[in-house]
Every structure is written in C-alpha cells, then in structure tokens.
Amino acid sequence: MKVLARALILLIVALVALQLFFAIRIACMAWLAPQSTSFQRSEAWRISKERGTLRWRQQWVDYAQISSHLKRAVIASEDDGFTHHDGVDWDAMEKAWEKNAKAEQRAAGSKAGPNGAGKPTAKPPKIVGGSTITQQLAKNLFLSGERTLLRKGQELILTVMLEHLLSKQRILEIYLNSVEWGEGVFGAEAAAQHYYRKSAAQLSAYEAARLAVMLPRPRNYEKQPNSSYLSSRASVIVARMGDAQLP
C-alpha cells in the first residue's frame, strides 16, 4: 500500500508540475510569440518524411497588420461567440457530441450487407468538432491530434489557462499567426502570400472569407481551389461578417 500511495503522490506531483509548466509558457505568450506549435512540429516531421524536404511557410505579423476582414471572417466561420464565451461553447460541444454519436450509430448499422455479412458499406463517420477558437489554439499549441477523453480534458484545462492569462485579442492574434492554411502553410501572412500574392493586411472581404472557410480542411481545399462549396460558403460568411465582433 505504501508503494501504491507513493506512486499516486508522484503522479499527482507530476501532473501539477505539468500544468504549472503549461501555465508559465502561456503567461510568457502575453509578450513573446510562440516559435512553433505542437501541430506545426508534427506536420513538419510528416512532410519531411514523406517528401524528403522541409516545407514551412510562416511569418508572424502583429494584430494590427492582419486585415479586419480576416478576423471577422474567422470568427463568423469558426466561433461566432468568441468575444463572449469563457473559452468553451458548451452548447456547441453538446450538439457535436450528439451529432457524432448519431453518425457512429448509422455507420455501425451499415457495416454489414443486407444479410448481416460481407464487406462494410458505409464510410467512416465524419467527426464534428464544436471547438472554439481558444480550444483549437490550446490543442494546436501543446497537444497531439488524438481524440481521447484524457486529451480533451487537458485541452479544457489549457483553454481555461489561455482565457485567464491572455486577452481575447492576443488569443486571436496567436491563432491567426499559427493556424494551418495548407500543407506547410501556417499563419495569415503566409496564407495571404500563398493564395493571393499579397499581405494579410490587404485581404479583401471575399478573400478573407475563402481563407476562413478553408480552415477545417485546408490541405483539401488547397488542392481544390475551384471547389463550388468553397465559393458558396465564402459568400455566406461574407454576409455574416458584419455581425462578427472583434476583441
């Protein structure tokens, strides 16, 4: 029992030390821009293994140097309650859980043929996130892409830290400078240069909306720039941008 108790104490100390480490790193981000994120490093490793070369485009720009169109477009597309919530949109998360559960049930019921045997007939269910901008940033900065309860719990803790230690403006600034917009393309400035050959400050409303729509699947839309969904959805986002509130 003593050995078990000591092991438990050591585990608790290690977990507390890990959270303290995260808190210190986040607090430093109030003044220092992160050099890279966990997601970026994993992507750089994947690309270098697959292609034998490192492809990484990123250039940090201050909040004022990013078009307000892009800020509004990303908020309208990804998290329209960004300026109001405490980092977690509980209603959106609940709806996402329900939608994912129904999708998994449908997929499970379609795995077999008409007689209950044979090859699977359904595609894997599409996973809906329901994460806020702050949650996405927490995951990208520090965590892996695993979908486990443990990782989700750590994501929520990091989200609370980000909301308490950084301003909403700083959170959005870091997010826009680090999020993926194509294979090896990270941040608003790199995306603006890559797709439109202009700076992030010069993006028009429609250009910004197209970039915002790309965020859930940037590598896919990079290969399909003429996607009809991308164009139609961008028009919807343009119409909603006027209601998006900036921090």
| DSSP bridge pairs for 182 | 185
> Tokens 């108790």 sit at which residue?
5
Query: CA 35, CA 220: separation in Å to the nearest integer?
Result: 26
Give the pLDDT score at 146: 76
Give the pLDDT score at 56: 87
Give the pLDDT score at 27: 97
Q: What is the pLDDT of residues 30-50, one digit of tens each?
A: 999 998 999 999 998 888 888
User: How large is the average pLDDT for residues 96-108?
Assistant: 61
Q: What is the pLDDT of residues 234-245, one digit of tens each?
A: 999 999 999 999
Q: In this predicted structure, which of 53-62, 126-135, 150-159 has the lowest mean pLDDT? A: 126-135
Query: CA 162, CA 87: separation in Å to the nearest integer?
Result: 8
Percent above pLDDT 90 for the chain:
66
Give the pLDDT score at 173: 98
79 to each of 66, 75, 85, 92, 245, how far by Cα in Å? Answer: 18, 5, 10, 10, 11
pLDDT(103) > 90: no
Confidence at 147, pLDDT banded by 50, 70, 90: confident
3 state SS of 70? helix
Give the pLDDT score at 192: 97
Cβ of 196: how many Cβ atoms within 10 Å? 16
The alpha-helical segments, DSSP class H, found in 86-196 are: 90-109, 133-142, 149-165, 168-178, 188-196
* Domain with residues 53-80+168-247, CATH architecture: Orthogonal Bundle (1.10)
Q: What angle do CA 204, 205, 209 make, to 5 degrees?
A: 115
Confidence at 121, pLDDT banded by 50, 70, 90: very low
Domain layout of the chain by residue ranges: 53-80+168-247
Confidence at 126, pLDDT banded by 50, 70, 90: very low
